[in-house]
Structure 1
Amino acid sequence: MSGQDVRRFVEQAARQQQFLDVASREEAIRRFHAHLDLTPRGEETVPLDRAVGRVLAADVVAGVDVPGFDRSGVDGFAVRAADTVGAREDAPVRLTLNAEVLAAGAVPALAVVPGTATVIATGGMVPRGADAVVMVEQTEVADGEPLAVEIRKPAVPGQFIAAAGSDIGRGETVLRRGQVLTARDIGILAAIGRAEVAVARRPRVAVLSTGDEIQAPGTPPRAGAVYDSNGAILAAAVAELGAEPVALGFAADDEDALSAAVAAGLACDALLLSGGTSKGAGDLTHRVVSRLADPGVLVHGVALKPGKPLCLASHHGKPVVVLPGFPTSAMFTFHEFVAPVIRLLAGMPPAAVTTVDATLPLRLTSERGRTEYVMVSLVEGTRGLAAYPIAKGSGAVTAFGHADGFLTIDAQAEAAEANTTHPVRLIGRGIHPADLIVIGSHCTGLDAIVGLLVAEGVTVKALNVGSMGGMAAARRGECDIAPVHLMDYVTGEYNRPFLAPGMTLVPGYRRMQGVVFRPGDSRFDGRPGDVAAAAAAGDPACIMINRNAGSGTRILTDRLLGAARPEGYWTQAKTHNAVAAAVAQGRADWGVAIEPVARLYGLGFLPLQEEHYDFVIPAARLDRPAVQRFIATLGAPATVARLSEIGFSR
């Protein structure tokens, strides 16, 4: 980037800040809806085999009775109930059989008169004169002429007969406008003779990702680029809402190309864009959208987190939305601002909102002036539901997908305190309790064990909050298993010194911690790990990447470094993978991580210490079937072999 480019970037940033008129969530929605045509996009008629998942365009009124005639519910004999009075096993009533058999679909030719009965199959039309059906098991055909049947149990009027219209009556409204048609609804439509049905036309929603950094999935990764996950996520979310996504792919930060893509998108019923700020705060996407007419941009900036850069516009009543580029921000703002609009365009009623109360197990700081929405995962503890924040940031692809819901921190609050209760708005259909709750340190070896359990049908919820977080969750009774690798700083012993009363330690496996570096770096190659780390700590040009406080690896690293605080010490990665990635990409020169991860990233590895990765289980949960299944799987030969294969030992 030239000096002129830098100057242009700064000037654009200044103009951007001057423009940004941040609105509250409520004000943003009010402005947006006030300038949209939110009526459904019309209707179309489709055959039943293409109607599942479609939105019903009008109430459906039955034009026929279901069943359309009185029909038998069993195989047996159609009789007059009065003729069976007094029938017993030892004194059966004898009735003469009529000369016809009423199979399903047959129309009776003979009436049942006093003293007679007619053979009838399940679903058969009940003949005139009959008011009950006797099951074949309660009868016996008598010998002789004329052919007769002996009834051993009296019948009551209406017995085993489904009366005409008893399921659906002519003129009855069987389905309502706005329903999303399911397989059961298709059955109802078929039962009243409908071969096709009027449904709301699916609104066509154009989806466009923007930015020079975007590349298509399936292509080799390039430096500085990210795969277009937003396009795939948003298109799927649009389809889930009963609309038709129109994928426009992605456009680079070129004004002409972006203008052409926006023009193409305006041929649809709505246009969604995401990103487009890779050239800086100048926000090329906003500049292109701001040229739209009647009325154009309505809101640019909403006082919430995540999602502040949201831009809402209208073009002749058609919604145009620029979502933030970060995946979690994009999905959150989509569901808050865009999904309700698409539902209306698709003829669907507003989505039901469900909230539950949950306790926040740790303190969360917040930025005053913006309403903050925190994605959480819910677990059932001894004190009720606990809400664990999914602290992956708005740039994470998985944060929204792994969340059970979100809680709100008021714009005027600086924090949400630990052990306070908050309403959590659920995402999706609600909470689905897992068989096994795992909270603590993450490891690829644990992933392998969980994979084996899932293959056996065990449902698992795993929250990666570090070893100390796992210990705290186990103390509070919020998990079944807490994976930990905590070393006592004084004795060097792992995990056992940290146990509290009521906790059981199940030995897990061993994994080697060591210094990771790029192969060929002479500052590390061929040297003992502790010696290389000490030398690197004294070299200002040798940048390290550290682990987060509270992790077992951080305890080991601090013991290794002593009082030294090398360059990069305060840069803290939350996972072994993040340490390895920083070193592999040259953002750091060394760090401490486990050997399997070093191998995965093609890094050099100098062993430091074999650590114990064990499992803490609250005693009250030890006998749970899923916990016992976990323990059995941990010791199984197949598990031991799999752990050995990926670099761990028992």
Structure 2
Amino acid sequence: MKELLNLITPEEALKLLKSNFNVSLKATEIELSQAFGKILAEPVKALENIPPFSRSTVDGYAVFAQDTFGATETFPVLLKLRGEIGMGEVPEFTLGPGEAVRIFTGGALPEGADSVVMVEHTELFDSETVSVLKPVAPGENVIAAGEDFKEGEVVLEKGTRIRPQELGVLAALGYSRVTVYNSLKVGIISTGDELVPVETKLKPGQIRDTNAYLLVGRILDLGMQPVYFGIVPDRFEELIKAIQAALLETDIVLLSGGTSMGVKDMVVDAINSLGAPGVLFHGLAIKPGKPTIGGGINGKPILGLPGHPASALMVFERIGVPFLRYLSGLKSSYQPRVKATLTINLPSKTGQEDLYRVMLTQKEQGYLATPILGKSGLINTLTRADGYVIVPLDIEGLHAGEEVEVILF
């Protein structure tokens, strides 16, 4: 059996991939209503001050703050009422010294007012006078014009994924259309004579194509477009045809299976035969997922993942997800994570990064991370895991009671 190439770390693998492949997606202008989950292809600036006017954050009375200084329940300050500002009205007067005007949450402040006294800190003295029982500071209970966003300010950077929060901001800024990157198309090819479609009744020696659906789901979860090219038997010519078809239609190709160095494992030869740069690495200092392949053909990247589902998932999470985020145009490849306390010891050997799937349990003192142990060929461990813990390659394990960082699925 051939030896794997020199093992490299996951970080080195990501650096290699990013240095060889750039973001080259086309951009499209779309309706704001269709923009959820998309990635901005250009920065978004505020076209005007938001809010465009100073507005109240409470129901009460707009005042000049200095007029309220010293007010108490025992010795209230009396201010002359100037009527009421209705919602949506633009005040056409200037508030004078010693005056107040009734205002509601979201209402526009008149000139001369710099704060709002909450209604519960006031009493009507008579129909023309209000008693202020508590002083306010300048700017209190007010959002000033442009305090949220100033005209010309970059509000959302290029490479930002549009979540509900960003949709709301874009709407507030008046953008009915935005320019976004086209969704990354990810080709998926499953390899192996033992694989059969999911609807097949299994015969001895057969297994259903689990990895394809695992990858499809994760790619959809990332907001990308999976394209499944089916199962390819262990025949070189068939593999070549499938890779060529996937390269024509997608931006990156994921191969599942055929990455270790058995007699019929021919992925390396196939990649090298189709174009430059060919295989960039074959073998990661990682467990599970050691026989992973990374390379490219004529400007398009290819990742070869192990055939065992748990191994395939873990390698994809460790290097596939951040690399796909990079290719999609995202400004950050950060993945959500939480701090948790480890419940048992996790052994490891130096020179190899270990990935342990964990289940999270919330307690009063925080999260507990319980490792889900099992062989890489088992799939029952996948649904019980909430995330995974990385044991760095330069230490010999982690201890029970130690605080760890759990990267969430």
Return the TM-score normalized by structure 2.
Answer: 0.79
Identify if the C-alpha distance between structure 1 residues 111 and 297 changes in structure 2 by more than 3 Å, giving closer, same or farther: closer
Deviates more, 1:257-266 or 1:80-89: 80-89
Deviation at 1:378, TM superposition (A): 7.3
Equivalent position amino acid for 1:427 in 2: I
Residue in structure 2 matched with residue 72 of structure 1 by the alignment:
56
Residue in structure 1 matched with residue 111 of structure 2 by the alignment:
128
RMSD: 4.1
Contact 1:78 1:120 in 2 (8 A): yes
Deviation at 1:266, TM superposition (A): 0.1
For 1:25, what is the secondary structure of its paired residue? coil
Residue in structure 1 matched with residue 90 of structure 2 by the alignment:
107
Equivalent position amino acid for 1:293 in 2: G
Equivalent position amino acid for 2:119 in 1: V
Deviation at 1:308, TM superposition (A): 3.5
Residue in structure 1 matched with residue 406 of structure 2 by the alignment:
426
Taking the aligned partners of 1:33 and 1:375, their CA distance within structure 2 comes to 24
Taking the aligned partners of 1:354 and 1:97, their CA distance within structure 2 comes to 53
Deviation at 1:229, TM superposition (A): 1.6
Deviation at 1:327, TM superposition (A): 0.9
Contact 1:78 1:132 in 2 (8 A): yes
Say which of 38, 41, 66 aligns to 2:22.
Answer: 38
Taking the aligned partners of 1:393 and 1:218, their CA distance within structure 2 comes to 25
Contact 1:56 1:178 in 2 (8 A): yes
Report matched runs for 1:10-159 at 5 Å.
Answer: 17-18=1-2, 20-26=3-9, 29=13, 32-33=16-17, 36-81=20-65, 96-98=80-82, 101-114=84-97, 116-137=99-120, 138-140=122-124, 142-143=126-127, 148-153=128-133, 155-156=135-136, 157-159=138-140
Identify if the C-alpha distance between structure 1 residues 78 and 225 changes in structure 2 by more than 3 Å, giving closer, same or farther: same
Identify if the C-alpha distance between structure 1 residues 425 and 317 changes in structure 2 by more than 3 Å, giving closer, same or farther: farther
Deviation at 1:141, TM superposition (A): 6.3
Residue in structure 1 matched with residue 184 of structure 2 by the alignment:
203
Taking the aligned partners of 2:370 and 2:100, their CA distance within structure 1 comes to 70
Whether 1:334 and 2:316 are equivalent positions in the alignment is: yes
Whether 1:351 and 2:331 are equivalent positions in the alignment is: no
Structure 2 unaligned residues grouped into runs of 5+ = none
Deviation at 1:325, TM superposition (A): 0.9
Contact 2:49 2:150 in 1 (8 A): yes
Equivalent position amino acid for 1:179 in 2: T
Taking the aligned partners of 1:42 and 1:398, their CA distance within structure 2 comes to 40
Contact 1:361 1:386 in 2 (8 A): no
Residue in structure 2 matched with residue 616 of structure 1 by the alignment:
none
Report matched runs for 1:218-233 at 5 Å.
Answer: 218-233=199-214
Residue in structure 1 matched with residue 151 of structure 2 by the alignment:
170
**Pair member with larger Rg:** 1
Residue in structure 1 matched with residue 171 of structure 2 by the alignment:
190
For 2:263, what is the secondary structure of its paired residue? coil
Deviates more, 1:62-71 or 1:303-312: 303-312
Equivalent position amino acid for 1:149 in 2: T
Identify if the C-alpha distance between structure 1 residues 426 and 84 changes in structure 2 by more than 3 Å, giving closer, same or farther: closer
String of CA shifts for 1:258-292, please: whole Å, max 9, x gaps. Answer: 33322221021100011248996222444433321
Question: Percent identity, aligned pairs only?
Answer: 34
Taking the aligned partners of 2:231 and 2:381, their CA distance within structure 1 comes to 23
For 1:290, what is the secondary structure of its paired residue? helix
Say which of 295, 318, 329 aligns to 2:300.
Answer: 318
For 1:231, what is the secondary structure of its paired residue? helix
Taking the aligned partners of 1:170 and 1:284, their CA distance within structure 2 comes to 58
String of CA shifts for 1:109-132, please: whole Å, max 9, x gaps. Answer: 333335654332221111223344
Equivalent position amino acid for 2:245 in 1: A
Say which of 127, 137, 160 aligns to 2:141.
Answer: 160
Return the TM-score normalized by structure 1.
Answer: 0.52
Contact 1:361 1:387 in 2 (8 A): no
Report matched runs for 1:190-589 at 5 Å.
Answer: 190-267=171-248, 268-276=250-258, 281-302=263-284, 304-348=286-330, 349-351=332-334, 361=345, 371=352, 373=354, 375=356, 377=358, 390-399=372-381, 402=385, 404-407=388-391, 426-428=406-408
String of CA shifts for 1:12-35, please: whole Å, max 9, x gaps. Answer: xxxxx34x5422124972894377
Taking the aligned partners of 1:84 and 1:278, their CA distance within structure 2 comes to 78
Equivalent position amino acid for 1:150 in 2: V
Identify if the C-alpha distance between structure 1 residues 68 and 254 changes in structure 2 by more than 3 Å, giving closer, same or farther: same
For 1:404, what is the secondary structure of its paired residue? strand
Taking the aligned partners of 2:54 and 2:66, their CA distance within structure 1 comes to 18
Contact 1:212 1:252 in 2 (8 A): yes
Identify if the C-alpha distance between structure 1 residues 336 and 25 changes in structure 2 by more than 3 Å, giving closer, same or farther: farther
Equivalent position amino acid for 1:323 in 2: L
For 1:232, what is the secondary structure of its paired residue? helix
Taking the aligned partners of 2:228 and 2:71, their CA distance within structure 1 comes to 73
